[in-house]
Amino acid sequence: MKILATGFEPFGGEKINPSWEAVKELPEKIGNAEIIKHQLPVSFKGVKEKLPKIIEDVRPDVVVLTGQAGGRVNITVERVAINVMDARMEDNEGYKPEDEPIFEDAPAAYFATVPVKRIVNALRENKIPAMVSNSAGTYVCNTAMYIALHYIAINGLEAKAGFIHVPYIPEQVLEKPQPSMSLEMIRKAIEIAIKESIKS
């Protein structure tokens, strides 16, 4: 069994992105599952170009995408991705789409196929603050989630996919009044999410 775990590069003036920092720290294997890690660009066009190729190359059984949601107070497991790109700030390539579809003539939305509520319950049982989120936003995180689910759907793959948003880590909020979570807790949360996703 193969798990594709992704995080994003830094963006918005940050020097690090806790999603990728946590994914990097995941073990090479979880149970019998091999963990394959990839960093994604904070670029609408870059994700659209690179993520399908990564999924095609890896042929994962489960895709767990992660991204930073600065300001959120807990781990949020996304329920739905929508077919729109609408950015309040430029991506790392200077692109700022407004009300653009990710793909023309594609479904309006996809639901995550990982067990969203079971993951949230498992995180809480492990004393990690977590909740279901019904909006992955309209920035690159939502785009990545939509692309993964769309690619899996149109190619008839058996893989499950989902997206997890993570808070800032403490070093990012030393001078701003924002909530944070330790990198180790974020890493543990992603590992638990993977374990729940590979259960039958």
pLDDT per residue over 72-104, tens digit each? 999 999 999 999 999 999 999 999 999 999 999
Residue in the structure block whose two tokens are 């909006």: 135
Q: What is the per-residue pLDDT for 173?
A: 95
Q: Which two tokens stand for residue 189?
A: 């949360």
Q: Which domain holds residue 11?
A: 2-197
Catalytic residue among 14, 25, 49, 78: 78
Q: Is 21 designated active site?
A: no
- Is residue 199 predicted with pLDDT exceeding 90? no
Q: How many domains does the chain have?
A: 1
Whole-Å CA distances, 79 to 14, 101, 119, 146, 161: 27, 19, 11, 11, 11
> For residue 191, what are the contacts with CB-CB under 8 A and spacing of at least 6?
26, 27, 30
Q: Using CA atoms, how far apart are residues 72 and 189, in angstroms rounded to an integer?
A: 15
Q: How far apart are CA 20 and CA 9, in angstroms?
A: 7
Beta strands in the chain (DSSP E): 2-8, 29-30, 33-40, 62-68, 75-78, 80-82, 109-111, 130-133, 160-166
Residue 100 annotated to the active site: no
Strands 62-68, 80-82: parallel, antiparallel or unpaired by DSSP? unpaired
Share of the chain above pLDDT 90, in %: 98
Element spanning 48, H or E: helix 44-58
Per residue in 25-54, is it b (16+ CB within 10 Å) or e — as a string?
Answer: ebeeebeebebbebebbbbbebbbebbbeb
Using one digit for the tens of pLDDT, what is the confidence trace for 116-141? 999 999 999 999 999 999 999 999 99
200 confidence band (pLDDT: 50, 70, 90): low
CATH of the domain at 184: 3.40.630.20
pTM over 0.85: yes
Neighbours of 7 (CB within 10 A): 26
78 given a catalytic annotation? yes
Could you read off the pLDDT of 18-55 as tens digits, one per residue?
999 999 999 999 999 999 999 999 999 999 999 999 99
Taking only the tens place, the pLDDT of each residue in 138-153 is 999 999 999 999 999 9
Closest CA to 198 of 91, 144, 124, 122: 122
Task: Exactly one of 150, 165, 191, 196 is catalytic; name it.
Answer: 165
Q: Can you tell me whether residue 9 is helix, strand or coil? A: coil
The catalytic residue among 21, 93, 125, 141 is 141
Torsion angle (degrees, nearest 10) of CA 2, 199, 141, 43:
0
